[in-house]
Amino acid sequence: MSAQHDAGHQEKIDDVRALELYMLSSERGASGNTVENYKRDIESFQVAQAALGRCLISADTADIHTYLSKLVQDGCAPLTRTKHLDALRHFYTFLQAENHRRDDPCTTVISDSKALELFCDMLRSERGASFENTVKNYKRDIESFQVAQEARRRCLIYADTGDIRTYLRKLSQDGFAPRTQARKLSALRQFYGFLQAENYRRDDDDPCTTVKGPRLDRPLPKILSEDQVALLLAAARTRVSDETGGPRAKADAVRLLALVELLYATGLRVSELVKLPLENVIEGGKCIFVRGKGGKERIVPVGEPAEAALGDYLKLRDLHLGKAACSKWLFPSRGEYLSRQRFAQILKQLAIEAGLPPERISPHVLRHAFASHLLANGADLRAVQKMLGHEDISTTQIYTHILDDRLKAVVRNHHPLADGIH
């Protein structure tokens, strides 16, 4: 091995010589087009460095960041920017291997698309499969900001506080609700926190740190009365007693009754209910084991009416398997589980049959009914919190405000001295 490759020794070469050596090395292992493309992209960076009074061979990570930001400002497409970055990675890896550099300035530099991909992978690996819908929502919200940045010829990964504030102002001008704005800002906070943790941004360089989200008034959830839930369940039982539709229609009706009874009896999130594995029904249907948001586990008791409806459904469950020989899901459908969208559609149709406005009925409204009716009948707030799977009791306390409003309405309407009560 020559002296220039001895450990710790670096041969001093200039930019021109570095590029010559790189080209000679690349020509031995790559196609002519690839070599020429790499050369063109590296020379483009060299010109940008020279304009700033900087060298090619001694460029640092900040130089790479500056260059990529300039490409965005010049209207360079994301794929083209990625190709530029790939060329620079290849070049500096070569210089490192040949002992012309100790470090690689591209190590902590990634493209916008790669940053988002790594962020989503992190969420999946740390939070589990039950978090997939949230991952998709995060991705969609961050991509929305990315599109806004591209329109302004700005980067996603190198966004600053001004970019975030400009984006939030635009959302407000476009009529997005404060809660939607807050959700999108939350996604960006998570994203840039990840970039800092992975050293893709400096620890003191979070663009969201000083950004205040929109002021939110906590909305009261839509609630059904106990009588309205009774009407919904009665309509479901009417479907079960209808003998005119044949075995499959009967099985569908029995399944729907089981779904509605379970949702009202347990307060499960709709995604938890439709994705419930059969093996999670325990003690003969008296309890359900749930793995909820973030992989958190809980056991929820099942009341007698729901237990009976579940037992009737299990006798006919195989009719929903379709062509599959078996399924691990409690509510199988076409080889997978019943989708929450399909369940919501069926529930709205049931609402019409019950004489209820379909726009007021959804699986989540039944979850709200479960919580509010328990509290109205004297249940302990902490017990309801545990059954709902709420991490923070303040989330559960929203239902107590509904009860307060109802009690005030009773007093206003019936107390002889109620004029001063608000």
Whether 136 is catalytic is: no
Beta bridge partners of 297: 291
Q: What is the CB neighbour count within 10 angstroms for residue 141?
A: 19
CA–CA separation, 337 and 353 (whole Å): 25
The H-assigned helical ranges of 28-177 are 32-51, 61-73, 78-97, 112-127, 132-151, 161-173
Nearest CA-CA partner of 81 in 117, 54, 36, 45: 45
100 is known as an active-site residue: no
Q: Catalytic: which of 38, 264, 313, 399?
A: 399
Check 81, 184, 367, 368 and give the catalytic one: 367
Query: Which residue among 54, 293, 334, 386 is the active-site one?
Result: 293
Tell me, yes or no, if 192 is annotated catalytic. Answer: no
Q: How far is CA 103 from CA 28, 60, 92, 209, in A?
A: 24, 9, 8, 31
Using a 10 angstrom Cβ sphere, with 0-12 exposed, 13-18 middle and 19 or more buried, the burial of residue 98 is middle
> Which is catalytic among the residues 269, 320, 368, 373?
269
Contact 330, 278 (CB under 8 A): yes
Question: Cα–Cα–Cα angle for 266, 128, 177, nearest 5°?
Answer: 70
Active site (annotated) includes residue 367 = yes
* Distance from C-alpha of 291 to C-alpha of 276, rounded to nearest angstrom: 9
Is 337 catalytic? The answer is: no
317 is catalytic: no
294: amino acid identity, one letter: G
Catalytic center residues? 269, 293, 364, 367, 390, 399
